[in-house]
Amino acid sequence: MQVIQEEDMREVCEAEQSLGVGGIDVRLAWRRQFAARLNRHSFDSRERRSQNANRAVSNHGLLRMVQMFLRLAFFLCSLAGGLAAAEDKATTPDAVLLLQRGDRPPIRIELAALRQQPAETLEVRWKRDDSVEAATFRGTPMRQLLNMLGIPAGGDLRGDWFTSVVTFVGADGFEVTLSLGELEPTVTGRRAIVAWERDGKPLGANEAPLRLVMEGDLRPSRSIRQLVSVRVSEPKIRQRPAAAK
C-alpha cells in the first residue's frame, strides 16, 4: 500500500511541474484521480483483510470440526472396546478353579498357578456322529489337584474312600459326577487332566478357561467345558459291628 501511494504521489508531482500555473484544472483533475486511486486501494486492502479474516475463521471452524470428529471417533472406539471387553467378561468365566473337600473352605487356584504345576498331555479321538474329533490337550493331572485336597493316592486309596464322589461343575451349572476310583490311574489305568490348552493353543471361548479331559473316553460326554469348580465328598465311614465279647 505504501509503495502504491509513493508512485501515485510521484506521478502527481511530475504532472504539476510540467503543467505550470495555467493548468489549475488539470492539476485538480490529477489530484481527484490520485484521491480516487487512494480510496480504491484502501477499499481493496480492507476487502482483502476481511476476506483473509473470514478465511481464517472458516479454517478455524473446520479445524474445530475435525478435532471434534476425531474425539468422537476415539470415544466410539473406546466405547466399543469396553463393550466388547464387558461382553467377553460376561460370557467367559474367570480363570479361577475352586477345589473343595467336603465342608472345608474351598481352595482358589488361578490359571497362572495351574500352569506352574507339573503338566501332562492327552490325545483324544471323540466320535461325533459320522466323524471323529481328534485333539491334543495339555493340563494339570487331576491326581495333582486331589493331592492338594489331601486325598490319598495309589495304594493308599482303599476302603471307604471308594464311596467318595467328585463333582465337576461348569460355568453354566452343568455337572458331571465321577467316583473317586474312576480318577485314580492305578485303578483304571487311565488319566484325567484339567486342561487349559488344546492343540498348542489356549482353549477357545466355548471351552475356556478350563476343561476336564478323560483319557480313553469314546465321546466327550464327561469332558465338561468351562470348568469352574471341583468338589470331593468325604468318604462314608462304615459302621462296623462291635467285636463279640
Regions in the chain scoring below 70 on pLDDT? 1-61, 77-94, 242-245
Q: What CA dihedral angle connects 102, 105, 111 and 116, to 10 degrees?
A: -90
Residue 133, beta-bridge partner list: 126
Helix (H) / strand (E) element for 130: namely none
User: In this structure, what DSSP letter does residue 238 have?
Assistant: -
* Alpha carbon distances (Å) from 10 to 1, 7, 34: 14, 5, 10
The reported pTM is 0.61
What is the pLDDT at residue 158?
93
- The reported pLDDT for the residue numbered 90 is 41
| Overall fold of domain 96-232 | Sulfite Oxidase; Chain A, domain 2 (3.90.420)
DSSP state of 104: S
Cβ of 154: how many Cβ atoms within 10 Å?
Answer: 11
Query: Can you give the residue ranges of every domain in the chain?
Result: 2-86, 96-232
Are the C-beta atoms of 177 and 167 separated by less than 8 Å?
yes
Contacts of 116 by beta carbon, 8 Å cutoff, 6+ apart = none
Q: What is the pLDDT of residue 11?
A: 60
Q: What are phi and psi of 244, to 5 degrees?
A: -70, 140
Nearest to 100, CA basis, from 159, 169, 157: 169
Distance CA 101, CA 107 (A): 9
Q: Which of 112, 163, 135, 103 is nearest to 225 (CA)?
A: 135
Sign of CA dihedral 175, 142, 180, 232: negative
pLDDT digits 0-9 by tens, 22-63: 455 655 665 666 666 666 666 566 666 666 666 665 666 677
What's the first-to-final CA gap in the chain, in angstroms? 134
The grid cell for 80 is 466399543
What are the pLDDT digits (tens) for 204-216?
999 999 999 999 9
Q: What pLDDT does residue 216 have?
A: 94
Pairing mode of beta strands 211-214, 192-198: antiparallel
Compute φ and ψ for 49, nearest 5 degrees: -65, -40
Within 10 angstroms of residue 163's Cβ, the number of other Cβ atoms is 15
